[in-house]
Copies of this chain bind each other. A is one copy, B any other.
Amino acid sequence: MVKTLNIIGGKWKPVILHMLASQTLRFGEMRRLIPPISQKMLTQQLRELESDGIINRKVYAEVPPKVEYSLSTLGKTLIPALEALYAWGDNYPDTGGDLKL
């Protein structure tokens, strides 16, 4: 059961998943949408989500490189659980400082 948290527990994973829930995105787009994230962390968290089967990674053999990320079928089943989390957070007394989603 703790495994669900292992999967979404990274500092940026919930944010990433929330973005991918509504659209397919390229690496650079995600960086722009989440300014405070370092590129290392973005890469790392994407790789973990991918190896957990939550997201798909599609590489286009082009120059310049192009990589698109999207939720996998399994990943989509996670959305309701994530939304329950976000919804609860909205009702929680704000402590400030969080990214607004």
Contacts and interface: CB of A to CB of B under 8 A. Distances in A.
Contact of A4 (B3, B74, B80, B85): B85
- Secondary structure dominating the interface of A: helix
Interface stretch (A22-30, A55-63, A88-96): A88-96
B1 A86 contact: yes
Interface of A: 1-5, 7-9, 11, 14-15, 18, 53, 74, 77-78, 80-81, 84-93, 95, 98-101
A72 to B, nearest CB: 12
Contact of A15 (B2, B14, B84, B98): B2
A3 B9 CA distance: 12
Contact of A88 (B4, B18, B53, B99): B4
Contacts of A98: 1-3
Nearest to A52: B92
Q: Which of A3, A14, A93 has the most CB of B within 10 A?
A: A3
